[in-house]
Structure 1
Amino acid sequence: MNYIETKIYTGRDGMEHLLNLLSAMGREDVVIEDPADVAELMDKKNSYDWDYVDDDVMEQAGREPAVILYLEDSAEGKAQLEELRQAVAGLKEQLESGSLGAGKAFGRMEVEARPVRDEDWKDNWKEYFKPAKITERIVVKPTWEEYEKQSEDELIIQIDPGMAFGTGTHETTTLCIRLMEKYLQEGDAVLDVGCGSGILSIAAGLLGMKNILGVDIDPIAVQVSQENVQLNGLSQLVNIQYGDLTKGIDYKADLVVANLMADLVMMLSEDVAKHLKGKGLFISSGILVEKQAQVAEAIGRNGFEVIEVLEQGDWCAIAARLK
């Protein structure tokens, strides 16, 4: 199906009036582009809120506020577009008359529309996700791509991340799996904290582990992980559940793996220690190289000894053993 992408430009003070208008018209399914959101994001409330901001996010800070919605590219959709144009024009008149307040940044209140194909905005990202050999043994491939094993000992992870999760080929994931390959021993119980798409739990299963728990505080991540575990035929070995490591997770592992970010790794390291058996291993990633020493020091205070650090690009992963 084809759609009409409809973008309504507004201003800082006009956004609420526009959203109220759209709500009254039964249009709740909208995307809001507001540079004020970027400003709020940059005003870091907690050290673990973010570690790295993509250039695309920063670019949004200079954009004009707008609301985007999609209408069917049909006679009915075109009629809805015309109705929308008239309603926005009426709101603009009210704003310009001063009846809703004077001297405010209501913006230009103009509607732009363009046709888009369904696949243009839903599936285009898939063309950039190809099979990738991320370690000597492990290949990550999307479900929609064919791939033939290059050797007998090659392990293939099938993944369908959806648009909300990474493809599993990021440096942070590669570093984690390289350390898992090196340190996992037969029979090890594994705990994957913040499992996301489930790729690290799946890797543990393919590497021969038979007792694996993946947890995440995002219910969508839990669902996606469960689906990917099933895709790889590992439902008997890997259990994915909603949960917070700091409360309600009663599980002891030989190895805990966490691909998060530096401040979360530091914050959770005390709880990780409580979920490890004996001199268990903690593999952490999602750490910028510039924060490596800070993370090593923090986890050291919680009883860990760093035994190896791997770096790739701007990122590093740390393997640490409980003393």
Structure 2
Amino acid sequence: MKWNKYSIKTTTEAVDLISASLSELGIEGIEICDNVQLTKEEAKSMFVDFIPDLPEDDGSAVVNFYLDSEDDDHTILDKVKDEIESLRIFCNVGEGTITESETEDKDWINNWKQYWHTFNIGDLYIKPTWEEVTEEMKGHPILSIDPGTAFGTGSHETTRLVIRQLQKYVKSGDEVLDVGCGSGILSVVALKYGAGHAFGTDLDPNAIIASHENADQNDISHSQLEVIEGNIIDDKAIKDACGYEKYDIVCANILADVLEPLSTCIHEHMKVGAYFITSGIIDSKEEEVVTAFKKNPHLEIVEVNHDGEWVNVTARRAN
């Protein structure tokens, strides 16, 4: 299928009003291009650990939208032009000019598969669902995952760091708590290495769906891997649901800015001698996270590991 792509040259001031107008006209999939820097608060809410450098914001923006070329008789385009002119009364829309180009729909769902193949972390093989188990994989733990529906696939440095620590510390029958579980991949890995039960928490309701899908894909029952939505740091109902002094392993591959407040209370859920395995820490935040961990008298840091610019901090509940 071919699509007509329309690009509105405007200002950051007018972006919201133009987007709302397009939505009212029934146009979906609006794309906004600008150089407006994220605030720290926005970065936290969007699960961004560091804010990328952008060119200086000059107030300009482009709003793109797409119409099916077969149905596009420019009726909608004429309405968009009228809306832009109407908005000039309320804000500075800038040039408000619209350029047109054509793009072709592609089978992205299948085309990207050529770039994602089975890989291993130690003796663990992580394979996409569409690839077969080879002779080389037999006799080793295998994690089958569909990266099209998951938050994480194990290929990112932060996930690798935690997986390596799980391979080292998980014992048969362990109780595992996965904070910010995302796709549930760390819980599944822990269960593959002999953990008896895993309990995950996440702020995103889609994490529950993704975790259950990955559990099903790897023949893990929902009683073995339980996932709930909520914040373990300050929601007592979630804390109670997780249980206290219960876990042998706690893993958290989340933002450094979340790990710091988590480090003040996570020991409540850990057995004495349990391990707290963390990542999601960019190297510029390493000292800050380590300092936060050291402030908790119940935790002692046993390892700090690096993979590229990412950091793992593993601590143990000492008392």
TM above 0.5: yes
CA RMSD of aligned residues (A): 2.8
Cα gap change, 1:22/1:129 in structure 2, threshold over 3 Å: closer, same or farther?
same
Partner residue, 2:11: 11
Q: State the 1:85 CA deviation.
A: 2.2
Partner residue, 1:68: 64
Partner residue, 1:115: 103
Partner residue, 2:277: 283
C-alpha distance in 2 between matches for 1:118 and 1:60: 34
Q: State the 1:152 CA deviation.
A: 4.0
Aligned partner letter, 1:237: Q
- 1:309 paired with 2:304, answer yes
Aligned partner letter, 2:190: A
Partner residue, 2:49: 51
C-alpha distance in 1 between matches for 2:96 and 2:119: 46
- Structure 1 runs not aligned, ≥5 long: none
Aligned partner letter, 2:51: V
Q: State the 1:71 CA deviation.
A: 3.0
**If the length of structure 1 is used for normalisation, what is the TM-score?**
0.84
Cα gap change, 1:221/1:59 in structure 2, threshold over 3 Å: closer, same or farther?
farther
Partner residue, 1:213: 199
- Structure 2 runs not aligned, ≥5 long: none
Residues 21-72 of structure 1, C-alpha deviations (whole Å, 9 max, x = no match): 3233223x23241426x42x1x3238956432356xx379679523333333
Residues 282-322 of structure 1, C-alpha deviations (whole Å, 9 max, x = no match): 00011123332322221122221111122111111111101
C-alpha distance in 1 between matches for 2:58 and 2:114: 29
C-alpha distance in 2 between matches for 1:212 and 1:92: 53
C-alpha distance in 2 between matches for 1:167 and 1:30: 26
Cα gap change, 1:294/1:66 in structure 2, threshold over 3 Å: closer, same or farther?
same
Aligned partner letter, 2:94: F
**If the length of structure 2 is used for normalisation, what is the TM-score?**
0.85
- 1:88 paired with 2:77, answer no
Cα gap change, 1:118/1:174 in structure 2, threshold over 3 Å: closer, same or farther?
same
C-alpha distance in 1 between matches for 2:33 and 2:149: 21
Q: State the 1:17 CA deviation.
A: 4.1
Kindly indicate whether the alpha-carbon contact (under 8 Å) linking 2:150 and 2:183 is maintained by their aligned counterparts in 1: no
Structure with bigger helix share is 1
Cα gap change, 1:175/1:124 in structure 2, threshold over 3 Å: closer, same or farther?
same
What SS does the corresponding residue of 2:194 show, helix, strand or coil? coil
Percentage of matched positions with identical amino acids = 33
Q: State the 1:13 CA deviation.
A: 3.5
Equivalent in 286, 300, 320 of residue 315 of structure 2: 320
Cα gap change, 1:110/1:70 in structure 2, threshold over 3 Å: closer, same or farther?
closer
Number of residues paired by the alignment? 307
What SS does the corresponding residue of 1:10 show, helix, strand or coil? strand
